[in-house]
Amino acid sequence: MEVNKTDFIEAGSGEKVILVHSSVAGAKQWRSLIGALAGDFHVIAINLFGYGKTRAWKERGNLQRLEDQARLIEPFLPASGEQISIVGHSFGGSVAMKAAAMFKQHVQRLVLIEPNPFYLLNKHGRTAAYDEAVALRNLIKEHGNAGSWEVAAERFADYWAGAGSWSAMSDDRKEKFSHALKPNIYEWDAVMNEETTLLEWERDLPKDTTVISAADTVKSIDEICKLLRESISGWNFERIDEGGHMAVMSKPEQINPMVFAALN
């Protein structure tokens, strides 16, 4: 189903909650959370550029911006004075931040699950964590541009889901994962080149913002979540002991209740 070229899935009724997925996963990553929320909310999980039936990013002459992805949410904003909530994971967390700032008159609550605005690491002296993200970006771009998608996919999978994740996949899964990684080559530009300051995020995002992270996540994300916690005192920060960056899918029994509580 499409509205203004944004592909999405939806369920339930009531207050609107928009879900924004991570890289590679697509809207289908939210199946468990949709089931947990649909009894109380009208849930819309969108597909970003290159996922589902949302068109691929084709503006080769232009670097992708968070604003470009955030605009995909615009068709789902209420025409009346009603307010919505947005939930985003990883790259979708960064897109959710931008959308909530751009459309702040419509957004009451924001839930960020391990968001990845890597540029903040560079701006605030988290050099080791930033360099870790840069190394992954460079590898993805190098091998993606060369068409060596399986090499890129192996490193991507093992970084985000843990060492050995790639080797544990079936050949069919590896092929699908490599194909699904292709939009990510443009997404790095959006999270590396954003210029919004922490003060501007604090000013423009809802006071009712919750950040959820895992204690055993990767260094780059851990440092981002620490930076947000240290800089923005009014937000709510929740943490699970284990589950890593992909806990949305690997530990839904822990993540889903946290998201539900944050939306109420």
Number of domains in the chain: 1
CA 145/CA 185 separation, integer angstroms: 8
Q: Is residue 168 part of a domain?
A: no
Q: Is residue 178 part of a domain?
A: no
Burial class of 18 by CB neighbour count within 10 A (0 to 12, 13 to 18, 19+): buried
Q: Is residue 31 part of a domain?
A: yes
Question: What is the bridge-based pairing of β-strands 41-46 and 84-89?
Answer: unpaired
* Backbone Cα Rg of the chain: 17
Residue 80: band (very low, low, confident or very high) from pLDDT cuts 50, 70, 90: confident
Q: Is residue 99 part of a domain?
A: yes
pLDDT at 60: 65
pLDDT at 3: 40
Q: Is residue 86 part of a domain?
A: yes
Residue 2: band (very low, low, confident or very high) from pLDDT cuts 50, 70, 90: very low
Residue type, 263: L
Residue 5: band (very low, low, confident or very high) from pLDDT cuts 50, 70, 90: confident
Domain at 253, CATH number: 3.40.50.1820
Over the stretch 241-262, which tens digit does the pLDDT of each residue have? 999 999 999 999 999 999 999 9
Q: Is residue 69 part of a domain?
A: yes
Over the stretch 134-167, which tens digit does the pLDDT of each residue have? 999 999 999 999 999 999 999 999 999 999 999 9
Q: What is the mean pLDDT of the chain?
A: 95
> The whole model's pTM is what?
0.96
CA 103/CA 105 separation, integer angstroms: 6
Over the stretch 179-204, which tens digit does the pLDDT of each residue have? 999 999 999 999 999 999 999 999 99
CA 207/CA 42 separation, integer angstroms: 22
Looking at beta carbons, which pairs linking 229-232 to residues 24 or more positions away fall under 8 Å? 231/198, 231/202, 232/198, 232/201, 232/202
Residue 91 structural domain:
2-118+196-262
